[in-house]
Amino acid sequence: MPDPTVPPTPPVPLDALLAREDLGLRRIAGPDGPGLVVHWVHTSEMADPYPYLLGGELLLSAGVHIPDGAGPGYFDAYASRIVAAGGAALGFGVAPVHDTVPDALVEACALHGLPLLEVPPRTTFSGVARAVWRLMAQARLAELRRVTEAQQGLAAAAGRPDPVPSVLRRLAGRLDGWAVLYGPEGTRLAAAGREPGEEVRLALAGLADVVRPDVAPGRGLPGTAAGGAGRPASAADTVAGTRLTAYALGAGRGFVLGVAAPRQEPGDHTIASVAAVLLSLLTGEHQSGRGAARSAALVRLLLGSTPEDVAGLLGGQQWRVVHARPDGPAPDHVAASALGAALGSALVDADGRTVRVLVPGDRAVEALPGWTLGVSAAVGPREWPAADTQAARALARARATRAPLVRHGGRPALTDLVAGPDAEAHARALLAPLAAVPALPETLRTWLSLHGSWDRTAVALSVHRNTVRQRIARCAALLDADLDDPDVRMELWFALRRG
């Protein structure tokens, strides 16, 4: 997680700035080493710059603030305030106010461990700032390139025959650390990279408990990011000099990605987050036992099995079909999946503006904001096609009546008194003149279900009311029937329901 005490910019190694020959900077006091970095540049001639520093800055000063006859105490207080504010280094310009860097300032910076750079007269402060900005841009480009390459590598690993171990190996290699996948019970399912000592392993497992949704809340830790249901989505800590991070995978399934790395480089959090997303997909429902059973059921249906043969794999004998239309634009696959999740089913089919969902029969289907729903009766596998028709008709009625949800009625009908084969044969014969134009029987069915209302039928079919009139007139002509006759309407309705 980023350190909140420094600006959110890529750090620039102080050595890289000193290596710029065009600047001619020279370190004359304070520590050196690759770990010293600059996050920003600030120029100030204040005797106490503390209130104006965010932390991580290279502070530039020409010493205008230094009073005549200033003694060691002044410079000691000045250096200590810069260090207290989190300043990364001090750059002192030797012109035009001072010909050399005051010896007392050199001693104070050495005492407080503050790197002190001499800025020669030919180098302007704006030139130093511009050099830092350019180095930051280069660092940002390198960071983006590293993250992009890591994303590509992780995606390729997810496509291997052993996707989970491959993703963990690639992640551990990128972070030069250890990556582990914990299961819902806290067990270690897979790991890759250099395994740390017991203290770090136990601390990382405890950190995983912090983000896992099905365990008691753990100890409070720094670096947590807000997650759902009162749980953080990620949590970080440092133990024995090792940076630890845990990421909750998916929506409450209990899988957790743990990462232990000896250091944190720019982009590491982004790379680990990409791995977490991929592992969320790999550990999702389609990889679980229930998801595998559903996949097997679909394959068997495609290979010729009957619905009755595969119903057991789907987890129940009674199912409802739900047809749904959004109030806004046509739904994409993400919206369709979200609808299925809200209804408690992963069996979703998005076709144009209508989404169809197969829902277990014992699960209540309630109205959902932003959707219009038509719900079939709970039926066995043999009646699934009929339930699909029921849901379609219920949805049409819901849209026509502006109702958020309409359920198919389950009481016995007069049509049940006629044998199925006889009723279907009669329906085919009666409606044969309309068979060549599929829109005609659908329009006639909707129009009859809405008691001959032109406007409501137009709304249900998403067409103009004049189109409805033209189609109904054509139905009457092709059938050679008076559609105002209630007996004709009754017979046609019977046929349309069984056809």
Residue 452 and residue 486 in one domain:
yes
pLDDT for 229: 46
User: What is each CA distance from 191 to 164, 171, 172, 258, 285, in whole angstroms?
Assistant: 9, 10, 9, 9, 21
Secondary structure element (H or E) that encloses residue 330, with its range: none
Name 323's bridge partners: 356, 374
Residue 171 and residue 256 in one domain:
yes
Q: Is residue 268 part of a domain?
A: yes
Report how far residue 130's alpha carbon sits from residue 88's, in angstroms, rounded to the nearest whole number. Answer: 17
Residue 397 and residue 420 in one domain:
no
Residue 358 and residue 328 in one domain:
yes
pLDDT for 251: 55
Residue 68 and residue 115 in one domain:
yes
Instruction: Out of 407, 432, 449, pick the residue that ends a domain.
Output: 407
Instruction: From 470, 446, 471, select the one nearest 457 (Cα to Cα).
Output: 446
Q: Burial of 342 by CB count in 10 Å (0-12 exposed, 13-18 middle, 19+ buried)? A: middle
Contact call for residues 361 and 339 (beta carbons, < 8 A): no
CATH code of the domain covering residue 31: 3.40.1390.20
Domain span including residue 483: 414-498
Instruction: Out of 240, 260, 283, pick the residue that ends a domain.
Output: 283
Report how far residue 82's alpha carbon sits from residue 49's, in angstroms, rounded to the nearest whole number. Answer: 7
pLDDT for 199: 92
Question: pLDDT of the chain along its 499 residues, tens only?
Answer: 344 444 556 788 999 999 999 999 999 999 988 789 998 899 999 999 999 888 889 999 999 999 998 999 999 999 999 999 999 999 999 988 999 999 999 999 999 999 999 999 999 999 999 999 999 888 888 888 888 888 888 888 876 767 888 889 999 999 999 999 988 778 888 899 989 999 999 999 998 888 887 544 433 333 444 344 456 778 888 998 899 999 988 655 678 999 999 887 778 888 888 888 888 877 764 445 555 566 666 666 666 777 767 766 666 568 889 999 988 777 776 677 767 767 877 778 877 788 888 888 888 888 888 889 999 998 887 788 888 888 988 888 888 778 899 988 755 455 545 555 677 788 788 888 988 888 998 999 899 888 889 998 988 888 899 999 999 999 999 999 898 888 888 888 888 876 5
User: How many independent structural domains does the chain possess?
Assistant: 4
pLDDT for 108: 95
User: What is each CA distance from 363 to 3, 207, 340, in whole angstroms?
Assistant: 47, 36, 13
CATH code of the domain covering residue 435: 1.10.10.2840
Residue 168 and residue 272 in one domain:
yes
Q: Is residue 300 part of a domain?
A: no
Q: Which of 235-240's residues contact partners 24+ apart within 8 Å by CB, and which partners?
A: 235/207, 235/210, 235/211, 236/1, 236/207, 237/203, 237/207, 239/199, 239/200, 239/203, 239/204, 240/196, 240/197, 240/199, 240/200
Residue 476 and residue 421 in one domain:
yes
Instruction: Out of 73, 103, 136, pick the residue that ends a domain.
Output: 136
Nearest 5°: the CA angle 142, 146, 151 is 150
Q: Is residue 292 part of a domain?
A: no
Return the amino acid letter for 490: M
Report how far residue 268's alpha carbon sits from residue 156's, in angstroms, rounded to the nearest whole number. Answer: 18
pLDDT for 221: 38
Rg (CA), the chain: 36
Q: Tell me the pairing of strands 89-93 and 116-119.
A: parallel
pLDDT for 168: 93
Report how far residue 317's alpha carbon sits from residue 295's, in angstroms, rounded to the nearest whole number. Answer: 17
Instruction: From 412, 495, 405, 411, select the one nearest 448 (Cα to Cα).
Output: 495
Q: Is residue 147 part of a domain?
A: no
Q: Is residue 101 part of a domain?
A: yes
Contact call for residues 17 and 131 (beta carbons, < 8 A): yes
Q: Is residue 148 part of a domain?
A: no
CATH code of the domain covering residue 200: 3.30.450.30
Report how far residue 374's alpha carbon sits from residue 44's, in angstroms, rounded to the nearest whole number. Answer: 69
* pLDDT (tens digit per residue) in 410-419: 554 555 455 5
Residue 401 and residue 419 in one domain:
no
Report how far residue 94's alpha carbon sits from residue 110's, in angstroms, rounded to the nearest whole number. Answer: 18
User: What is each CA distance from 499 to 34, 435, 445, 460, in whole angstroms?
Assistant: 80, 10, 11, 20
Residue 224 and residue 167 in one domain:
yes
Tokens of 456: 């409501």
Residue 341 and residue 228 in one domain:
no
Q: Give residue for tokens 């590491």.
A: 268
Q: Is residue 141 part of a domain?
A: no
Half-sphere exposure at residue 355, Cβ-oriented, CA atoms within 13 angstroms: 28
Residue 169 and residue 115 in one domain:
no
CA 385, distance to chain mean position in Å, is 35
Instruction: Say what the pTM is.
Output: 0.47
pLDDT for 4: 43
Residue 65 and residue 40 in one domain:
yes
The torsion defined by the Cα of 108, 113, 114 and 119, in degrees rounded to 10, comes to 80
Q: Is residue 193 part of a domain?
A: yes
Q: Burial of 419 by CB count in 10 Å (0-12 exposed, 13-18 middle, 19+ buried)? A: exposed
